Structure 1
Amino acid sequence: MPDLNLRDQIAIVTGASSGLGEATALRLAELGARVALLARSKADLDRVAARINDAGGAASVLPTDLSDPTDVVATAERIVTRADPLRVLVNVAATDAPGPADEVSLEAWERVIRVNLTAPFLLSRAVLPLMRAAGGGTIVNVSSVAGRRGWANASAYCATKFGLTGLTQALAAEGAPHGVRVVCLYPGAMATHWGAWSPADRGEPRQMAPEDALPPKDVADYIAWLVSAPAHLTVTEAVVAPIRERGWP
């Protein structure tokens, strides 16, 4: 990996209380970014912030219910009123409503949409003017292999992850003339609590062999490269998959 540097830049990471969000926040902080941590659990965010601060980094905790658009907008307003250079937004947070489509409630469907799609839109809408004014920035929307191929028993999740592709492409077209790069990332299964489920049999828990899952740290390293890459690099989609994908679509 090249010499990366995000010194004194503000980076927002959603879903920062665990899994890939936590790994991404830690990695960006290592590169010098001052990381704004967003998730619902203040206790978990405090734990991640302590890891960053104890290592000499800088983190701020912004407990936010990403399923509540009003709360998301309020948090975005708190962030954008700061004078600091905001150059990075990584939308990691996601939720699911597993089960056959005819058994998924409207309430569950709408909650998945709010977390997985509406929150990234609202945060992107808030930071884009700052990035344009600063002459550039990078937004990474973390989709999934479920955003490229539908799974049974995951209708809401797949719909929102496909939706992130369209959102990313639209924002990338709007941001490119101003030096703002927007990328949709499609990780394979990761070694997190999500990774214990087989996409081929959604709803049937199955432990994967460790070599079949992506370590969140590896995906976080790739995200760090994306947000630190030279401004002339144009990319809107990236697939990150384990070397071996036995039994996975």
Structure 2
Amino acid sequence: MEIHDKVVLITGASAGIGSATARRFATAGAKLALAARSADRLHRLAEELKAQGSDVIALPADVSDPKQVQRLIEETVRHFGRLDVVVNNAGQAAVGAIADINPEDLRNIFDLNVIGPLTAMQAAIPIMREQGGGLIINVSSVVAKMNIPGIGAYAATKSALNMLSDTARAELASEHIRVISVYPRATATEFGKNALGTIQSPPQGSSNPSDTPEFVADNILAAALHEPDEQYMAE
């Protein structure tokens, strides 16, 4: 999809991969609706991008709340008149062995990592149908395809998101609505610090070099431009 002048909603946009993605899409000429729980950070980013000439609105919201997700979609369309791309990036980890993980932590991240994107998709699909097409980008993780002790709960949410994405891709293909799964690797963000639960030792592979948020954002933009089914981190 050509991104210039397209309306793009990005969740989890206040920091890390989300804010880097907002900057990349702004550079590509997109009109941006930015959502996150951290209102102060979100408004600062929006003002930064506006100062650079981008058309941006900040929409503070908790994506784990379906009513707030519905409002995000409605306010984006009300402001811009359309919605071309949804980047479901907001997410949180929960760490701990399967024997010890707090089920409530899993419920909380499932609401954010799975129900949030599902609600956004369900709200956006009717709009995209009326427009004749659109693009949904769900940010997954390579851990969904691995078996790493200590992060099984988080990996389970991303596996669930993958299945929703794969099925929606098949269901919506004839309506020109593309669904893409993006698979970041270890990334240098505050993501780990914000994880729920505790773990006694780092997950295997945690000492590997981390990608920058900007590198991941480049790959998300590449996914939007070229529309593969899945986007891994291309060097």
Quote how far apart the aligned CAs of 1:81 are: 4.2
1:44 to 38, 41, 45: 41
SS of the residue corresponding to residue 128 of structure 1 reads helix
Give the aligned partner of residue 28 of structure 1: 25
Q: 1:238 aligns with which of 227, 231, 235?
A: 231
Q: Secondary structure at the match of 1:184?
A: strand
The number of equivalent residue pairs is 230
- SS across alignment from 1:79: helix
User: Structure 2 matches for 1:185-200, cutoff 5 A?
Assistant: 185-194=182-191
Provide the C-alpha distance between the structure 2 equivalents of 1:47 and 1:208, rounded to a whole number of angstroms. 32
What is the CA–CA distance in structure 2 between the aligned matches of 1:74 and 1:86, rounded to whole Å? 13
Structure 1 match to 2:99: 102
How far residue 218 of structure 1 moved from its aligned partner, in angstroms, is 1.7
For residues 59-116 of structure 1, give each alpha carbon's deviation from its aligned partner in whole angstroms, at most 9, with x where no partner exists: 1111111222232223233334456231111111111121122322232111100110
Partners of 1:196 and 1:208 within 8 A in 2: no
Helix, strand or coil at the partner of 1:103: coil
Paired position in structure 2 for 1:59: 56
Q: Secondary structure at the match of 2:94?
A: coil
CA RMSD of aligned residues (A): 2.4
Q: C-alpha displacement at 1:225, in angstroms?
A: 2.0
CA contact (8 A) 1:195 1:208 kept: no
How do residues 82-97 of structure 1 correspond to structure 2 at under 5 angstroms? 82=79, 84-97=81-94
Give the superposition deviation at 1:220. 1.0
- Asked if structure 1 preserves the Cα contact closer than 8 Å seen for 2:94 and 2:153, the reply is yes
Between the aligned partners of 1:40 and 1:217, the Cα distance in structure 2 is 21
Encode CA deviations 1:11-54: one digit per residue, 9 max, x unaligned: 00011000000000111111111111111010010111122111
Asked whether 1:219 is paired with 2:216, we answer yes
- Give the Cα–Cα distance (whole angstroms) in 1 for the partners of residues 10 and 80 of structure 2: 18
Which residue of 100, 105, 109 corresponds with 1:112?
109
Q: Which of the residues 142, 155, 177 maps onto 2:152?
A: 155
Give me the identity figure in percent.
35
Partner of 1:178: 175
- Give the drift of 1:168: 0.6
- Trace 1:125-144 onto structure 2 (pairs within 5 A): 125-144=122-141
Aligned counterpart, 1:19 = 16
Q: Which has the higher contact order (CA 8 A, sep 6+)?
A: 2
Match of 1:146 in 2: 143
Report the TM-score when normalising by structure 2.
0.88
Checking the alignment, whether the CA contact within 8 Å between 1:10 and 1:34 is kept in structure 2 is yes
Does 2:75 correspond to 1:78?
yes
Cα deviation 1:148-170 (Å, max 9, x = unaligned): 11321223211111111101111
Gaps of 5+ in 1: 244-249
- What amino acid maps onto 2:140 in structure 1? S
* Shift of residue 58, structure 1, vs aligned partner: 1.8
CA distance in 2, matches of 1:16, 1:203: 30
Residues 144 and 187 in structure 1, CA contact (< 8 A), matched pair in contact too: yes
Task: Give 1:185 shift.
Answer: 1.0
Contact conserved, 2:13 with 2:34, CA < 8 A, in 1?
yes
